[in-house]
Amino acid sequence: MTGMSLNHNAYRTRRIRRRLSARLRRRQPLELVALALSWALAVAPILQAQKASPTEYEVKAAYLYNFGRFVEWPNKATAPSGGPFTVCVLGQDPFGQALDATLAGESINGVNTAAVRISKPQEAVNCRILFISSSEDRQLKQILVILEGTNVLTVSDLPQFSQRGGMVQFVLDGTRVRFEVNLTPVEHAHLALSSQLLKVAVNLRRSNRLGD
């Protein structure tokens, strides 16, 4: 019974990921704003087979997957031959099985997705997306310095992450998960965020600070 429930949850999770992607591609500004404001409510009946609301990190896992669909990496930033599109977690993992369930059976640009846990920032060289856990707060400046010159999209929910040189910061608007973007490190990493994605960010900023 547990296995059947997990499979059903994964199926429903894929439906919400695809629905979000389709809405973003329609480029309807009013719908995009509404989507951002109601995201947590929209995923509630789909991320879980039961009627309980999704957890904060189930929603964040779904966002990480969709960031991969709406960010363009330079041609040189390719996975090793036959390797997956990796979404990495650095430090203490707050997702549990949510990230694995979100990425299971999915692909981005024809490349299979996979969740990878790492303990050192040097291991992020083959990651496309790196979620930096709150356990790494004191090492943030060092982590961002190590990642300079790479094409890794950095994401975190650390306080003031985007002001401290991170690229995408999760923020809470009441119970809703939103995000803001620091365009300066995004451009330095030669990443291109789609206009659809930028439209639903709650804030766009520019900051050269590194982890202060």
Q: Where are the domains of the chain?
A: 55-205
Q: Is the pLDDT of residue 5 over 80?
A: no
- Give the fold, CATH level 3, of 55-205: Rossmann fold (3.40.50)
Q: What pLDDT score was predicted for residue 105?
A: 93
Q: Which residues contact 84 (CB under 8 A, 6 or more apart)?
A: 111, 112, 113, 114
Report, as an integer, the average pLDDT of 44-53: 50
Residue 174: φ, ψ to 5°? 70, -115
The region of weakest confidence among 27-41, 108-122, 152-166 is: 27-41
- In the chain, % of residues over pLDDT 90: 64
Segment 155-193, tens digit of pLDDT: 999 999 999 999 999 999 988 999 999 999 999 999 999
The region of weakest confidence among 8-17, 121-130, 154-163 is: 8-17
Q: What is the pTM of this model?
A: 0.78
Alpha-carbon span 168 to 183, nearest angstrom:
9
